[in-house]
Amino acid sequence: MMVYEQIAGFSGARLCTMGFFDRNRKELVERGLDPNRLPPGQYLTDRFPVLHVGDVPTYQPGEWNLSVGGLVDQPFTIDLDELRAMPAVTLTFDIHCVTKWSKFDTTWTGVLVRDLFERAGVKATASHVLEHAEYGYTTNIPLADITTDQAMVAYEFDGEPIEQVHGGPVRIVVPHLYFWKSAKWVRSLELCDRDVPGFWEKNGYSMYGDPFIEQRHWGD
């Protein structure tokens, strides 16, 4: 398995008696930021690390589409133009990767997942969602966590189309869970009546992934 990870500027070296993480947290306070925004065991970066398994898809935005299916009344498939025609939200939030970087105030534009689900008509038996992305990446999430007023199918970052390395043309963004729950290059959302482990979840990562209580692995 090939995991591509680019975390510039992080060496983990101890430059003084204080460890990297303590120093990073101290700098955050000095910058006037609320330290409670940084979950335990995380460090703040101003960069935007790129992290994924395998290759970056090479398709053109016109070739992309998204299916909503599984336990819904009206399964449908939507292309990028149709997605862009839906009511959009632009929201700013902090993101947290299980490899310990956090980034504050990232701004995304897209459609709330719950608006897509409303169109599909979620059956009463649905309790979880499996996000399916290009090349077979999957991640599982409770229905309630992907239908918040923040969870979105995003097509812009900082007012520009999402770069392909960051999941463009379209990715999921669910800010309150570790960022592996936010599938890049998302292609379908499957409503399920049980919690089915996705790619990292099968490999020992938490079924839920709350960064504020460090639910990194099974049993956390």
Ligand X SMILES: Nc1nc2c(c(=O)[nH]1)N[C@H]1C(S)=C(S)[C@@H](COP(=O)(O)O)O[C@H]1N2
Alpha carbon distance 72, 126 (integer Å)? 8
Residues 52-81: x where in contact with ligand X by CB under 6 A, - otherwise, as a string: xx----------------------------
Taking the least distance from each CB to ligand X, the nearer of 9 and 87 is 9
- Interface pick for ligand X out of 68, 180, 191, 206 (rule CB under 6 A): 180
Which CB sits closer to Mo ion, 75 or 197?
Answer: 197
Neighbours of 80 (CB within 10 A): 18
Count residues contacting Mo ion (CB under 5 A)? 5
Count the residues in the chain: 220
Which residues, 85 to 104, sit near Mo ion by CB under 5 A?
A: 97-98
Helix (H) or strand (E) holding 167: none
Q: State the minimum distance, in angstroms, from the CB of residue 96 to ligand X.
A: 8
Our CB check for ligand X shows the closer of 45 and 122 to be 45
Rounded to whole angstroms, how far apart are CA atoms 131 and 27?
36
Question: Taking the alpha carbons of 19, 105, 179, 156 in that order, is the dihedral positive or negative?
Answer: negative
Region of 170 please: left (phi>0), alpha (psi -120 to 50) or beta.
beta
Binding interface with ligand X (CB under 6 A): 49-53, 97, 133, 137, 166-167, 179-180, 182-185
